[in-house]
Structure 1
């Protein structure tokens, strides 16, 4: 059989050993060994307080994920989307935001939600099935979780075009100029919605950052099956810059995302940030990753743990003492208790509440449906509306 061009050894060149570790273009400020390095374009000065804050945020975010996974295993949640190993990508991006910036998440942005002040119990309520996400997006500029894969990229682009037309971009006022960030994974990058969002964002120079957490697995589909080039290079085909950052390096993720957001706020248009990381856990709690990936790969990425490298750096440079680490552990334990007890105490929704937030103003069709369902419930003894 004649080999077709582009389907042979060249695939190894693109996804060879160096590429699997991020490749030569990877932006990194803290190595897996906890060594501080510098980058000519994305360097940043971090105070000891900044570093301790990043560590604390990642530890607490991991505890949210651990507790939610355990709650699902005990039948308290219907499902949970794990983020184990992706804490640096989320905390770095979340802490780079300004209050006026707006976030459009997927269903896995638990760390970003934490950064925006969303009570983790609200996340559990969604996965427990007692609400659709009980937080108000207007309170913290953090949108509701999006289950439809890639849809949020279009939502983000439209919102970005809106604030652009409202005059909230490029004014030079740091308290007014705003940007939008859309989170999605490598699997969603293959969706038409994401690519359509790229086209609109480029065409209208929209102030949006597309933040792709490339955890290398679209459920069971490896990244090699989805793209022939690194994802960040796709941006050039749409006419805007792309950058690949070490997604297990919270310092680099913060610096790159901050720069991309500021570029958007200044009116310079969209950027694609590819946070190169690894999904240490399952896609969701219904998934068994041992069926499609090698344990050697998981062990390789354990050595790149985002929390461990910051801990090493803090200890090696005398920036945090035992009291600090003990305090973070105690805070994580208290958070775990809060989530366990709070999850079990979440009230079941009233049946009629499903009609409350369908439209801003009730339509005639919805009114008929509401009244019909209310009449149906009345046929049951002890029914509650």
Structure 2
């Protein structure tokens, strides 16, 4: 892999290579399966066994990470997983209409989220519970979305975290527009970067979303306007029931070359590598060097949503193989090996995780029904007399039933 500092916009291909015979579909699929470990281009700083791997290109982006920082990253992942498992159980018990698990993708989300500055903006899809956590959003604030009582209760301007997006890939267009605005308003490429005068945007989507037109359009607009946008693709190997080889003929990160900006593949089960690569990508954007595509090579260890049955389309052997790459266990082993955490620390994290789960459960069971007028809130940015009249008519009609409905 070439050094990130030397990447430039690709020149048009010339000569014999431009007319070389394209590989057959069988060769492409075989190649994708052969690189199921991520391939030699995969950026990795922690092996599945928790061993530190030197990487001259990216070590400097985590040179400031202390033992305490590693413990905090571990705590983040454990608590996010515990919240995810509790919400999954609450859906099974009828307390939520649906839940979208993130099991197995904790390192990709925590590493990326902790790389962001408070001034950066995040655009999620519907699985970014870990990113929400890093932006200061309590898991309780996510439950209303999946219970059908609200669309997200947080202030996206204050948290710099956009509401969840259910339409596949649509958030990429929203993020491209926002990042273009950052460029137009001069919030990138300024001197004195240490004082946070420069900003960037990061948008999150899955491998299946890369087949959507909205994602393609977002790539185009971000590229031609050099928008400070990091496209963060969590390649969890399955777009619901379709494997990655049904989405692409090439590794997903290589698609960036066709749009004229760099792409990179990182081990999405390695929180340290994800942190380093995302820091690099955000710095590129803040300095005015245009967009970057990150492919976080990870695995969805649970169903696509609670309405999905993954046993109908994937083998148990595949799941068992990925369990050996568990992102939380990887960091735990590293902490133990280097004596950066003792049993008391792990016990305290588990106690915090259990307390968080109990808080979520209590909150969910005691959630009240939203007021009926809530459907009229936040429709427009400014007061609208037509909408106000519709609200008043509806409330009067509802009141005519004497509270029986």
Instruction: Report the TM-score, using the length of structure 2 for normalisation.
Output: 0.92
Q: Is the 8 A contact 1:14 1:228 kept in 2?
A: no
Indicate whether 1:99 and 2:118 are aligned. Answer: yes
Classify the secondary structure of the residue corresponding to 2:233.
Answer: strand
Structure 1 residues 265 and 383: CA distance shift in structure 2, 3 A: farther
CA distance in 2 between partners of 1:193 and 1:372 (Å): 38
Shift of 1:5: 6.6
Q: 1:108-187 maps to which residues of 2 (within 5 A)?
A: 108-172=127-191, 173-174=193-194, 175-187=196-208
Indicate whether 1:32 and 2:38 are aligned. Answer: no
Q: 2:70 aligns with which of 35, 51, 62?
A: 51
* Cα deviations by residue, 1:286-340 (Å, 9 ceiling, x for unpaired): 1000000010100000000000010001111101011111110110011011100
Q: Is the 8 A contact 1:246 1:276 kept in 2?
A: yes
Aligned to 2:16: none
Structure 1 residues 367 and 319: CA distance shift in structure 2, 3 A: same
Shift of 1:368: 3.4
CA distance in 2 between partners of 1:263 and 1:146 (Å): 26
CA distance in 2 between partners of 1:369 and 1:234 (Å): 48
Aligned to 1:220: 241
Q: Is the 8 A contact 1:99 1:141 kept in 2?
A: yes
Shift of 1:16: 3.0
Classify the secondary structure of the residue corresponding to 2:102.
Answer: coil
Q: Is the 8 A contact 1:377 1:383 kept in 2?
A: no
Aligned to 1:11: 28
Q: 1:22 aligns with which of 17, 22, 38?
A: 38
Shift of 1:381: 1.3
Shift of 1:164: 1.4
* Cα deviations by residue, 1:46-65 (Å, 9 ceiling, x for unpaired): 31011111100000010010
Q: 1:276 aligns with which of 297, 320, 327?
A: 297
Q: 2:364 aligns with which of 339, 343, 351?
A: 343
Aligned to 1:331: 352
Please report the RMSD computed on the Cα atoms of aligned residues, expressed in angstroms.
1.4
Indicate whether 1:363 and 2:381 are aligned. Answer: no
Instruction: Report the TM-score, using the length of structure 1 for normalisation.
Output: 0.96
Unmatched tracts of structure 2, length 5 or more: 1-20
Shift of 1:365: 3.3
Tell me how many residue pairs correspond in the alignment: 380
Unmatched tracts of structure 1, length 5 or more: none
Shift of 1:163: 1.4
* Cα deviations by residue, 1:186-243 (Å, 9 ceiling, x for unpaired): 0111100001000000000000000000001111111110100000000000000000
CA distance in 2 between partners of 1:99 and 1:8 (Å): 45
Shift of 1:166: 1.5
Structure 1 residues 107 and 8: CA distance shift in structure 2, 3 A: closer
Shift of 1:345: 1.6
Q: 1:41 aligns with which of 42, 46, 57?
A: 57
Shift of 1:13: 4.0
Q: Is the 8 A contact 1:118 1:140 kept in 2?
A: yes
Q: 1:242 aligns with which of 255, 258, 263?
A: 263
* Cα deviations by residue, 1:252-298 (Å, 9 ceiling, x for unpaired): 00000010001100000100000000000000001000000010100
Q: Is the 8 A contact 1:213 1:277 kept in 2?
A: yes
